[in-house]
Amino acid sequence: MSLREAEEETGLTKFKILSPFVFDIDIHPIPARKDFPEHLHYDVRFLLQASEREVLTISDESNDLKWFPLTDLAVLTENASSIMRMVGKTINLPGLRQ
């Protein structure tokens, strides 16, 4: 399921699964809409590595896509706490391409 979600959001198809375990969980509120009340959304995140040689493809599931170093992420995201928590976990992993 996580591989399918990654493919749908990026257009990428070749992923290396870096761990079979849940990497991070983020719980955040989703505002009410006319067909759904406000509720909590659970992002269950896994750690995958993609090839930079593949072409990123914007879909209905993504607004914009771009390759960049993890160290640049803080200035590119509005949800800094959740994303930066994952960067902190990722940046010290042995053998990870950055």
4 close to 11: Cβ distance less than 8 angstroms: no
Is 93 inside a domain boundary?
no
**What integer pLDDT is reported at residue 62 of this predicted model?**
83
The tens digit of pLDDT for each residue in 19-33 reads 889 999 999 999 999
On whether residue 44 sits in a domain, the answer given is yes
Q: Please tell me the predicted confidence (pLDDT) of residue 38.
A: 97
Q: Is residue 26 part of a domain?
A: yes
**In this structure, is residue 46 part of a structural domain?**
yes
Total tally of structural domains belonging to the chain: 1
pLDDT at residue 23, as a whole number: 93
Region 38-49: what's the mean pLDDT? 93
The stretch 4-8 carries a mean pLDDT of 90
Structural domain range at position 55 = 2-65
pLDDT at 92: 77
CA 95 to mean position of chain CA atoms: 19
Full-model pTM? 0.76
22, part of any domain: yes
Provide DSSP, 18-43: S-SS--EEEEEEE--BTTB--EEEEE
Is the residue at 96 inside a domain?
Answer: no
Over residues 44-97, the pLDDT tens digits come to 999 998 888 888 888 888 888 888 888 888 888 776 788 888 888 888 777 665
- Does residue 61 sit within a domain? yes
Are 74 and 42 in contact, with CB atoms under 8 Å apart?
A: no
User: Would 81 be classed as within a structural domain?
Assistant: no
